[in-house]
Amino acid sequence: MKRIILSILSIISVLVAESSSIANQGDQAYNEGRFEEAIRLYQSSAQNEGTSSWLYYNLGNAYYRTDSIAKAILNYERALKLDPTNDNARVNLEFVNSRFNLSRPSESATTAFISRLTNSMHPNTWAITALIMFTLTLIAAACYFLLSKPLFRKIGFFSGLVLLPLTIASIALALNAHSRATSNNGAIVTIPSAQLSTVPSRPLTPSQQAFTVPEGYRLEIVDSIASTIDNGLIWYEVKVEDDSRAWVSSADVEII
């Protein structure tokens, strides 16, 4: 039995060592200025050993260094999707966005607050927080309902009064964080400038041209449809600023 455990441990350690060695080679290539090679190594690491927020972050940096703006933004977004608390990824994403004038119009204060709150913790941390909050609320309820001593009952009542909304909020935030982490709605424009059309096909007349969006711009996908004109090419209906909708070809964007 002991032997088996030992061998499993050794296999795991070998795996860990190997995985870190590919990614670390990427780090080394990056540090030495061989950014193309760093990209290749990070990608192979992602394929063989799995991904992480940090890996996407480093990959984004390497792409930025090779002037692949869209790819850099895409990977920063992926890094943030995996771990919204990755401050470095957020800072670099904002840096690249502002440098290439890709910053989106600022959202309303409430929305901004909610999204900041949601992104302040990892979805799993939110889930655990919600569970702890729920447990505390139950304890407070138990105090109120089950104990006969008035002091304990009072404590139970008022702490329950405070804890219940917090529990509901944290469950909502945990769900929100999870949906953000797993949604496939974000897409980054990967071509120098994408022509959005009003119909799910290439705009044929000027009246079908809706928006022109620059490389690296983030679009929110609402719906998708297989075009009957372009050999079954998938077209995404995207939200552009506020309530405007337009269609973009899946060839022009990459989903985060």
Partner 1 sequence: MKKNRGSSLEESSTNPGNITLRAPAKVIDSPLQLNDIFMRLKYLYFIFFLFSLFGANAQVSFNIIPPRDVVAGQQFRVVYRLSNAQGSSLNAPTVPGCTLRFGPSTSTSMSTQIINGQTSTSSSIDYSYVYIADKEGEYTIPTATINVDGKTLTADAKKFRVLPPDKTNPNDRSQVSATDRNSQTVDRPIGKDDIFVRVILNKSSAFENEAIECTLKLYTKYEAISSFNATSTPTYEGFLVEDVPVQAELNALENYNGQNYRTAVLRRYILYPQKTGSLTVTSGSYDIVVQQLERINQGYFYYTRPIEKQVRLSEYTAKVNVKPLPSPAPAGFDGAVGKFTISSQLSSTELKTNEAAILTYTIDGTGNIKFLKDPNPTLPTEFELYNPSHDVTAKVAGANMTGRMTSEFTFVPQYPGTFEIPSYDFVYFNPSTAAYETVKADGFTVNVAKGASSPSQNAGETPGLKANNTDIRHIHQGEKNLSKQHSYIIESPIYWITFAVLTLILITLAIILSHHNKKRADVDRMRVTKANKVARRHLRVAEKQISSNNTEAFYEALLKALWGYLGDKLNIPASELVRGNIAEKLTEYGASEGLISETLSLIDDCEMARYTPNAPELAPKQLYNKATDVINQLEAVK
Q: What are the residues binding partner 1 (CB under 8 A)?
A: 19-20, 23-24, 27, 30-31, 45, 49-52, 54-55, 57-58, 61-62, 64, 82, 88, 91-92, 95-96, 123-124, 126-128, 131, 134-135, 138, 141-142, 145-146, 174-175, 178, 181-182
**Nearest distance, CB of residue 174 and partner 1, angstroms:** 6
Q: What value, to the nearest 5°, has the Cα angle with vertex 157 and ends 153 and 159?
A: 115
Please, what is the end-to-end C-alpha distance for the chain in angstroms?
44
Q: Is the dihedral of CA 42, 43, 44, 47 positive or negative?
A: positive
Complex with partner 1: residue 27 or 237, whichever CB lies closer: 27
Q: What value, to the nearest 5°, has the Cα angle with vertex 203 and ends 199 and 205?
A: 115
**Nearest distance, CB of residue 172 and partner 1, angstroms:** 12
**Nearest distance, CB of residue 95 and partner 1, angstroms:** 5
Tally of CA atoms within 13 A in the half-sphere of 69 that contains its CB: 18
**Nearest distance, CB of residue 50 and partner 1, angstroms:** 4
Complex with partner 1: residue 59 or 248, whichever CB lies closer: 59
Complex with partner 1: residue 134 or 211, whichever CB lies closer: 134
* Cα 221 to Cα 85, 179, 208, 228, distances in angstroms: 24, 14, 19, 19
- Cβ atoms of residues 48 and 22 within 8 Å: yes
CA 89 to chain centroid: 11
**Nearest distance, CB of residue 20 and partner 1, angstroms:** 6
Query: If we measure between CA atoms, which residue out of 159, 160, 246 comes closest to residue 202?
Result: 246
Q: Which two tokens stand for residue 254?
A: 């990459």
Where do we find the tokens 């994408």?
194
Tell me if residue 139 falls in helix, strand or coil.
helix
CA 254 to chain centroid: 14
Q: How many residues does the chain have?
A: 256
Complex with partner 1: residue 90 or 245, whichever CB lies closer: 90
Complex with partner 1: residue 32 or 107, whichever CB lies closer: 32
- Cβ atoms of residues 189 and 253 within 8 Å: yes
**Nearest distance, CB of residue 250 and partner 1, angstroms:** 24
Complex with partner 1: residue 61 or 119, whichever CB lies closer: 61
Complex with partner 1: residue 143 or 246, whichever CB lies closer: 143
**Nearest distance, CB of residue 150 and partner 1, angstroms:** 15
